[in-house]
């Protein structure tokens, strides 16, 4: 049964699962839902800000939009923000501009519809604030290693960074309201809800939910023993195509209606810092996601080497007794979950294996850690995103930086 065929009883089960997750948060971390804020009207601005945000790794995965216009997911899910890359965004409102200017990775974007979710985010911003001043927006994805891996959550980072930038520029008093910031980021990217939170967070959602109640809540506290070894594998697959395929699978409904209880199990594992339990949940859901995507419309999110590496990770557990589990999202890249103590050994073995596959240079194996929420950067660091080409484009629009 596909997503569109969910019965009333199944949707009721999913909604109940979401409510149980909310109750777990209240009972285990003392969570109290923030009030939805009164958003100030801001017609004019001359603000200039620079922010960074981090990508996410899906553990209990996200697949399918119950409401595409509002980017509402069918069920709750859990992610961890990490520092494999960072999205750095510069934003400047300027009354001399006749139109908005978008530059991504040094290239001019003529239409914001070419930026995932940006047009929807701007519609909400206009609706909420009434802003009339145009702006220049420049963003760059800065990776720790030179790689083009797909499936490591970079669009989420872009959403988190954009939400923080516009909030700081126009309504800075709201930047500490997690409910607002996470909801705002959702309009750019569903997983942006989690980047806006940082750390471990659950995205509360179900079909029919009030859009202002569908957002991320961070639930981890303090340091963790978890470490991740990333293997970035490039791919031409598009996340939006994955959603269409996953929702068509006959296995989708069963996967969706158990998400709430699975999220609670994962939150318990994170609370206990149980790396083995976290890893087992992540690997199983990765395999379930693959089956759902392939059985929907034949969408293959893995490359053949993804399976090779998954087998290798399995053998490392069985033959060498290492704590290591592979997590894969809508792309073929692997995030291998392990412990602080074992991360060096795991990285060394995987690095050697990737070298044997002939991908030593284009799939640089590297270690990453849990990352925090979006944060402001000093404007003097804007050179990270304002390349020579970006400055040339801005100068042509009448802006000198």
pLDDT in tens, 250-260: 999 999 999 99
pLDDT value of residue 380: 95
Question: How far, in Å, CA of 376 to CA of 392, rounded?
Answer: 25
pLDDT value of residue 340: 96
Joined together, the tokens standing for residue 42 give 């801001």
Q: Is the pLDDT of residue 3 over 80?
A: no
pLDDT value of residue 58: 93
Sheet holding 200-203, edge to edge: 56-60, 77-81, 200-203, 216-218
Task: Give the residue carrying structure tokens 């700081």.
Answer: 168
pLDDT in tens, 169-197: 999 999 999 999 999 999 999 999 999 99
Joined together, the tokens standing for residue 39 give 């958003």
Rounded average pLDDT over 56-67: 92
Class of domain 3-394: alpha beta
Q: Is the pLDDT of residue 53 over 70?
A: yes
Highest mean pLDDT among 218-222, 282-286, 360-364: 282-286
pTM higher than 0.85 for the full model?
Answer: yes
Domains in the chain: boundaries: 3-394
Rounded average pLDDT over 60-82: 93
Q: Is the pLDDT of residue 148 over 70?
A: no
- Residues in CB range of 228: below 8 A, 6 or more apart: 57, 82, 84, 335, 336, 337, 338, 367, 368, 369
Range with the poorest average pLDDT among 145-149, 344-348, 383-387: 145-149
């Amino acid at each position: 049964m596909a997503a569109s065929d969910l019965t009333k009883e199944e949707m009721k089960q999913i909604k109940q699962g979401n409510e149980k997750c909310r109750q777990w948060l209240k009972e285990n971390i003392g969570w109290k839902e923030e009030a939805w804020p009164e958003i100030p009207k801001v017609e004019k601005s001359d603000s200039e800000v620079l922010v960074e945000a981090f990508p996410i790794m899906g553990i209990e995965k996200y697949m399918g939009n119950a409401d595409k216009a509002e980017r509402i997911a069918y069920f709750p899910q859990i992610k961890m923000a990490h520092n494999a890359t960072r999205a750095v965004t510069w934003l400047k409102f300027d009354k001399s501009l006749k139109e908005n200017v978008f530059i991504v990775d040094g290239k001019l974007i003529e239409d914001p519809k070419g930026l995932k979710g940006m047009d929807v985010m701007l519609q909400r911003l206009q609706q909420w604030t009434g802003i009339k001043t145009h702006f220049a927006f420049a963003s760059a994805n800065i990776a720790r290693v030179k790689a083009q891996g797909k499936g490591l959550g970079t669009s989420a980072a872009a959403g988190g960074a954009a939400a923080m930038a516009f909030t700081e520029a126009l309504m800075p008093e709201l930047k500490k309201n997690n409910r607002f910031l996470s909801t705002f980021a959702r309009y750019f990217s569903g997983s942006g809800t989690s980047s806006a939170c940082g750390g471990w967070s659950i995205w509360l959602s179900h079909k029919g939910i009030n859009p202002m109640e569908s957002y991320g809540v961070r639930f981890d506290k303090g340091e963790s023993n978890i470490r991740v070894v990333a293997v970035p594998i490039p791919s031409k697959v598009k996340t939006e195509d994955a959603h269409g395929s996953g929702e068509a699978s006959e296995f989708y409904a069963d996967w969706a209606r158990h998400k709430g209880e699975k999220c609670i199990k994962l939150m318990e594992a994170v609370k206990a810092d149980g790396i083995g339990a976290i890893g087992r949940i992540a690997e199983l859901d990765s395999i379930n996601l693959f089956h759902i995507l392939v059985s929907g419309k034949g969408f293959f999110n893995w490359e053949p080497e993804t399976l090779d590496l998954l087998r290798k990770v399995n053998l490392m557990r069985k033959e060498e007794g290492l704590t290591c589990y592979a997590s894969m999202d809508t792309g073929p890249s692997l995030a291998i979950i392990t412990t602080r103590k074992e991360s060096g050994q795991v990285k060394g073995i995987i690095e050697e294996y990737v070298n044997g596959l002939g991908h030593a240079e284009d799939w640089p194996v590297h270690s990453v850690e849990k990352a925090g929420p979006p944060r402001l950067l000093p404007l003097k660091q804007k050179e990270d995103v304002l390349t020579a080409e970006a400055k040339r484009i801005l100068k042509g629009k009448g802006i000198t930086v």
